[in-house]
Structure formats: structure tokens, C-alpha cells
Amino acid sequence: MFPGARADRADADYVVMGAPLDTSATFRPGARFGPDRVRQFATGFEDYHHEFDGHFTELAVHDAGDVRAWDDAAEYLDHLERELRSVRDDDAVPLLLGGEHTVSVAAVRATEPAVFVALDAHLDLRESFDGNPYSHATVTHHALDVADRVVVVGARAGAEAEWERAGADDVTVVPPGVVDSWEPTVGGPVYLSVDLDAADPGFAPGTGTPEPFGLEPTQMRTIVRRLAPRTVGCDVVEVTDRDDGQTATLAAKLLREFVFAHAAGEGVDTSRLY
């Protein structure tokens, strides 16, 4: 159980769900261990959040466990989508623990946002990778089948064709060097995906495809807090077992920050919380 997620499913405002899919790693596998590691490394956090003046255990979070994954990614995504739709049907916000980034495709289909925002080192705009249309490198491409537009924050890597596609009106790229001056006036509803390789690998080395010159944790926290009130679902993905817990700890903390900021709503100026 995600620490502090004590609410019954029927009473929950937020539902944690693990999706340990790990079929399309192109560099380092291990994302299947992500859900368990995020839960494990969240155990050391205080229940009370001073800046929001509230307790995580009072925010009606339920942990529904993992949706067991298998090798057929397309079939699994259909199943995961149904599970996540059941969360939305219960008027709760899904909180997805990956797993490789491909699991976000199911969440976007289930929540049907107007805007898909991904914190990600990679553009993920490929139509396929090595002949696989459900590679983790195709997530943003699939998101555009549902969302009107996408925003990729922290992107610094992609194939030439992906950068050309990113020049279209329905794609916005916010490179690491301009994140501090970016004002996330993205409208809504928003689905927020946090691929931990958006962080510089000096902060989060335990991810499948680390990419240098990335975001700092405080920058990621600021973005999560600002977007949370207008967000219909959130995930943290691409956490592996290839470190001492730094990446899982950051993922767990960002997920908690999302819940606190979402529960606080639009009435709180989260940009002034540090």
C-alpha cells in the first residue's frame, strides 16, 4: 500500500494503481519494479505537510494495488484503460504508478483530457520504434489521438522526424533551459505524466533511458503544483531498480505533492510554495 493511502475505495477521492508493464525497454529494463519501489521509498515521509497545512492521510487516497501486466502491450493497455475508467466513473482521480511510460496511453484514453502534459527527457513522438507501435517512445504520439494538444516539459532528445513533428501547432516543447520562465497556461482538463527521466540523472539515476542536462527536483515540483488543480489524472513512470532509491523517492514525493496541490484547488497560489 502507498503509505497514507488509507481510504476505502468507495470513499476515495484519489486512487493509486500500479501498472508494472516492462516490455519495450530500449536501454535498461526494470520499470516493472517501479510501483513497489515508489511505495517502498514513500514510507519515510511525514504525514503532515507544513506548506499546505494538512495531512496526507486526510486526503482520501486509496491504493487499489497493481494491475498485473503481461507481454501483449496493446491488450494490456485496453485492460488498464477499463480499470482506470472505473476510477473516473467513481468520481475519483487516478494516480498511476509505472511501469514503462507506455502505460500513460491507457490513462489518457481513460481520462480524455484536452491537454496532455509530460515531464520527459524525450519527445516520444515516434509512430513506432523497431516496429513496435506501443513502444515507450510512442507515448506522446498516442496522446494526440485523444488530446487536442500536448506539452513536453524538459525535452532534450528525439529523432529528427520527432523534432519536425514537434514544430506543429498541437505540440509545445519546453526545454530545460526555459522551464523557470515558462508559465503553464495550458487550460484544461489536463492529464499530467511524470517520466522520471525528465530529471537530470544526477538526481534520478534509476530510470530506463537517462539523459543528461535535465530538470532539477524543485523545478519538477513547481510544475506539478501549478498544474495539479486543473488535472484529471497523474502518473509517475519509468522508475527502475537501478539505484539506491533516489528515483523512487523523487517519484513518490512528486505524487504526494500532486495530491496536496490538487486537493487545495485553484484557490491556492502554489507558485509561491517552496
* Mean pLDDT, rounded, for 178-206: 94
Are 119 and 193 within 8 A, CB to CB?
yes
Are 205 and 243 within 8 A, CB to CB?
yes
List, for residues 57-67, the tens digit of each pLDDT value.
Answer: 999 999 999 99
For residue 256, the Cα-to-chain-centroid distance in whole angstroms is 12
β-bridge partners, 130: none
List, for residues 91-146, the tens digit of each pLDDT value.
Answer: 999 999 999 999 999 999 999 999 999 999 999 999 999 999 999 999 999 999 99
The pLDDT value recorded for residue 20 is 98
Confidence of residue 266 (pLDDT cuts 50, 70, 90): low
Confidence of residue 81 (pLDDT cuts 50, 70, 90): very high
Neighbour-count burial of 83, counting CB atoms closer than 10 A to its CB (0-12 exposed, 13-18 middle, 19+ buried): middle
List, for residues 216-249, the tens digit of each pLDDT value.
Answer: 999 999 999 999 999 999 999 999 999 999 999 9
Residue carrying the nine cell digits 520527432: 162
Min mean pLDDT across 40-54, 113-127, 162-176, 259-273 is at: 259-273
Confidence of residue 186 (pLDDT cuts 50, 70, 90): confident
Confidence of residue 68 (pLDDT cuts 50, 70, 90): very high
144 lies in a domain?
no
| CB within 8 Å of 167: residues ≥ 6 apart | none
Q: What is the CATH number of the domain that holds 98?
A: 3.40.800.10
Residue 163 has pLDDT above 70, yes or no: yes
* Mean pLDDT, rounded, for 16-33: 96
176 lies in a domain?
no
The pLDDT value recorded for residue 269 is 56
39 lies in a domain?
yes
Find the domain containing 40 and state its range: 9-112+187-272
227 lies in a domain?
yes
191 lies in a domain?
yes
Look at the alpha carbons of 51, 178, 230, 137 in this order and tell me if their dihedral is positive or negative.
negative
The pLDDT value recorded for residue 274 is 44
Cis preceding linkage at 99, omega within 30: yes
> Hey, what's the cell of 15?
486512487
**What number of helices (H) and strands (E) belong to the chain?**
7, 10
Count of domains observed in the chain:
1
Picking from 145, 162, 155, the residue whose alpha carbon sits closest to that of residue 108 is 145
Are 148 and 123 within 8 A, CB to CB?
no
β-bridge partners, 105: none
266 lies in a domain?
yes
**Rounded (5°) CA angle 29-30-34:** 140
Are 212 and 200 within 8 A, CB to CB?
yes
Percent of the chain with pLDDT over 90: 94
94 lies in a domain?
yes
55 lies in a domain?
yes
For the chain, give the mean pLDDT. Answer: 95
